[in-house]
Structure 1
Amino acid sequence: MTISLQKGQGISLKKNDGTSLTKVFLGTGWDVAKSGSGFFGKLLGGGDSIDLDASVIMFDDNKQYVDNVYFGQLKSRDGSIVHSGDNLTGEGDGDDEVIKVDLTRVPANVSSLVFTISSFRGQTFKNVSNAFCRLVDATNNTEIAKYNLSQQGDYTALIIAKIYRHNGEWKMKAIGETCQGRTLDQMKPTIINFI
């Protein structure tokens, strides 16, 4: 059964049988919002494509940056996280970008993984429709939780969720905080507040 996440809601990453999840992926998808067409419509943010980028940043217990994975670095240095690659348009059904995480391989010094989505070309979420992210158990392709990202307004970035260690087990918390930024570096000052 899929949990429809609300902002601030947390869930444990345990299976129904009580065992911990070992491999998960975060899938994101979106469509271009229907808006004005023609030259002026495109000037005002309409058009044929929106380039949203899913990313993840790894932090230690001291809220210090460890590594990140995004369209420019498709794999973490330790190999525990792999990005599917950049989708420049949002075209097609289902997940447009996927970030796979092998929780058994995440280094012991990493205490949290913060997932974000940002608009590389600076278009705001007003220009996006049907945006979502979903957490899936990668061992059996079962959707665990889904979070609707649409209606986020006049912002270029969203801090989606974090997966973090708590008392020896992994948990997930939906953050759902908007901010401005086209890249991870521009978002880091806001992200730190949610680790």
Structure 2
Amino acid sequence: MAISLSKGQTVDLSKKAPGLSHLHVGLGWDPIKKKGFFGFGKGSDSIDLDASILVFDGSKNVIDTVWFQQKKSKDGSILHSGDNLTGEGDGDDEVIRVDLNKLTPAAQHLVVTVNSFRGQTFEEVDNAFCRLVDESSDAELFRYELNEKGRHTGVIMALISRQGGAWSAKAIGEPGRGKTVADMVTSAQSLI
């Protein structure tokens, strides 16, 4: 059973899914439906949001980044599904898969971010979410719905951390600025 978290809440993934080895990080969103003349639907513009993962060591140093321009981590443990340019359709718009067993031992924190590559703000985004799925059982372990609107162009969605061999995930929902994950590094470090 999935746990729907509020901003700042944490779930112990090791208790929720003992033996967790393969994690599916899904992000989804929709463009806000714009209203036309007399309030009738006018359709919507496409929104190009980009899901990314920043990999930090225990000293909060970035040791890797996975995003649409680098779809595979240096150690091969993290794979990005590719860039969705519209946000159209149901379910996950972008997926990042993590093999926790292959992840370098130096990696202690995975920060999940989303950025608006075209600079569109989150006032234009609807139904944004981040979810974590145990790929071996297809069970959703964590879901965070981003309900806050604003003029920001990026959001730090979640923090996945390990202490010893145990993994936990925290819903962050911290707004940021920038069109790519590189613009989110300092904010992400401050939230670890």
Scaled by the length of structure 1, what TM-score is found? 0.90
Deviation at 1:19, TM superposition (A): 2.2
| 1:99 paired to 2:96 | yes
Deviation at 1:47, TM superposition (A): 4.6
For this pair of structures, how many residues does the alignment match? Answer: 187
Quick one: percent identity of the two aligned structures? 51
CA distance in 1, matches of 2:14, 2:56: 22
Runs in 1 of length 4+ with deviation above 4 angstroms? none
Scaled by the length of structure 2, what TM-score is found? 0.92
Deviations 1:74-94 (A, max 9, x none): 110101000000000011111
Aligned to 2:153: 156
| 1:135 paired to 2:132 | yes
Partner of 2:109, secondary structure, is: strand
| 1:89 paired to 2:76 | no
Aligned to 2:2: 2
Aligned to 1:29: 28
Deviations 1:27-57 (A, max 9, x none): 111111012559xxxxxxx952000000001
Tell me, yes or no, if the aligned pair for 1:13 and 1:20 is still in contact at 8 Å: no
Deviation at 1:14, TM superposition (A): 2.3
Which of 162, 166, 176 is the aligned partner of 1:165?
162
Aligned to 2:182: 185
Deviations 1:113-134 (A, max 9, x none): 1000110001011101111111
Q: Gapped runs of 5+ residues in structure 1? A: 39-45
Partner of 1:14, secondary structure, is: helix
Deviation at 1:167, TM superposition (A): 3.4
Q: CA RMSD in A?
A: 1.6
Tell me, yes or no, if the aligned pair for 1:125 and 1:150 is still in contact at 8 Å: no
Aligned to 2:40: none
Partner amino acid, structure 2, of 1:8: G
Deviation at 1:26, TM superposition (A): 0.9
CA distance in 2, matches of 1:85, 1:37: 33
Tell me, yes or no, if the aligned pair for 2:114 and 2:181 is still in contact at 8 Å: no
CA distance in 2, matches of 1:176, 1:166: 22
Partner of 1:20, secondary structure, is: coil
Deviation at 1:150, TM superposition (A): 3.2
Q: Gapped runs of 5+ residues in structure 2? A: 38-42
CA distance in 2, matches of 1:134, 1:19: 18
Aligned to 1:61: 58
Say which is worse superposed, 71-80 or 164-173, in terms of deviation: 164-173
Tell me, yes or no, if the aligned pair for 1:161 and 1:172 is still in contact at 8 Å: yes
CA distance in 1, matches of 2:67, 2:54: 9
Aligned to 1:42: none
Say which is worse superposed, 109-118 or 146-155, in terms of deviation: 146-155
